[in-house]
Amino acid sequence: MVQVKVLKYKIAVIPGDGVGPEVIREGVKVLRAAAEVAGGVDIDFVEFPYGAEHYLRTGELIPEEALKELSRMDAIYLGALGDPRVPTGVLEQGILLRLRFYFDQYVNLRPVRLYPGVPCPLAGKGPEDVDFFVVRENTEDFYVALGGRAKGRSKAELDLIRSLYEAKFKLDVDVDRDEIAYQLGVISRKGAERVIRYAFELARRKGKKRVTSVDKANVLTHVYSLWRDVFESVARDYPEIETEFAFVDAVTMWFVKNPEWYQVVVTPNMFGDIITDLGAMIQGGLGLAPGGNINPEGVSMFEPIHGSAPKHAGKNVANPIATILAGQMMLEELGEQKVADIIEAAVVEVLREGRVRTYDLGGRSSTSEVGDEVVRKIENK
C-alpha cells in the first residue's frame, strides 16, 4: 500500500470588518474543498479576532503576542479592514500596515487578469488583452510614516521651516500662524533592489518577456532617480527580458488604451497603490481582484484588494471571487500549485458560465451561492 505524504499548513484567518467575514467564509470553504480533492494537503485554519469590533470593545489593535503567534503560521488570510465607527487610518495603520512591516512583506503582488465571461469596461478588449502582473514595493516610499504638521513649534524649528519654505516657494506663508503638513518618501537601494529583482524573477517564472518600471522621476527626482538606477542595475542580470521606464501618469493612460502591452509592472509603493485599483477595474472590478503581501522568506498575507464595504455588511451580497483567488495565490506561494490550479480552474468555469454571479457582475446570486458553486465545480472535477 502506497503511503501518501500529507503536508499540513497552519493558516491564520483574520476576517476583519464589514463584508470581510462573509467573503473569508467562502474562501475558507473553497480552500478546504480543493485541498480535499487534490489530496496530500491538510489545512488548519486558526482564526484571529482583530479588527473594528475587537478594537471598539478592548481598545486593542494587534498586540505583540498575537504577532508572535502569527509568526508561527505558514500564511495569513485576511478579509478586509475598515469601519466608519473608527477614525480613518487607525485600523489600516494599526493592523494592516503593522502586519506588512512586522513580517517585512516587501512585495505586494497584484495579478491583473480578465477572465472569460467577465465584461471589460474597455471597448474591444478581451481576456487575451488583459493579463499582467503589478509588483508593488510594499514597505517604503511615502508609507514609512515620516511626517507631521508644523504649527506652534519651537522658534528654531519655525525658523528652519520658514527658510526652507521661502527658499522654495513664492507663496507667503506665516509658519507661526499657518499650518504646514509634510510627508517624506524614503527609498533605499536594498529595498528597491529586492522588489525589482522579484519582478524580474516573476517574469522569468511566468514566461513574460517585458518588465516596465513605473515612477515619477521627472519631478520627484531624488527618490525615483535612485529607483531607476537600481532598476537598470538589476536588469543587466536578465538580458533576455525587455525593459522600459514609464511615468505613472502615462501608465494610467496606457493601461486603458493598450493593456495588452503590459506583462510585468514594478513600481514604488504609492504609485502601485493607485494603479492597482485601475488594474482591478479593467479586469472587471474590485470583486475579482486578489492581492498578496509577500515575504518570499517569511510569513506572507493574502487578501482581496477591495475594502470592507460596510454598507453591504451582513447582506450576503459581496463578491467572494477576489477572496477565493487570494486563497489560490496563497497556496501557489506555499508551493501547492496543484491545489491552486484546481481553484482557479473552478473560478474560471463559474465566471465563463455566468449562471451564478453577484450583483457587481450583473447577477443576483448571493455571496454564499457563489462560494457553493465554486465548491461544486471543484468536487465535480
Catalytic positions are: 143, 216, 249, 273, 277
Q: Which of the 8 DSSP states describes residue 71?
A: T
For cell 527626482, the residue is 221
The 3-state DSSP class for residue 83 equals coil
Q: Where are the alpha helices (DSSP H) in the chain?
A: 20-38, 52-58, 64-70, 90-91, 98-102, 155-168, 189-206, 221-235, 248-257, 269-282, 321-333, 337-353, 367-380
**CA atoms in the 13 A half-sphere facing the CB of 360:** 23
In angstroms, the Cα distances linking 13 to 48, 235, 277, 302 are 6, 37, 24, 10
Distance between CA atoms of residues 86 and 71, nearest Å: 27
Longest alpha-carbon distance in the chain: 84
Q: How many CB atoms lie within 10 A of CB 166?
A: 13
| Contact assessment for residue 105 and residue 136, using Cβ atoms and an 8 Å cutoff | no
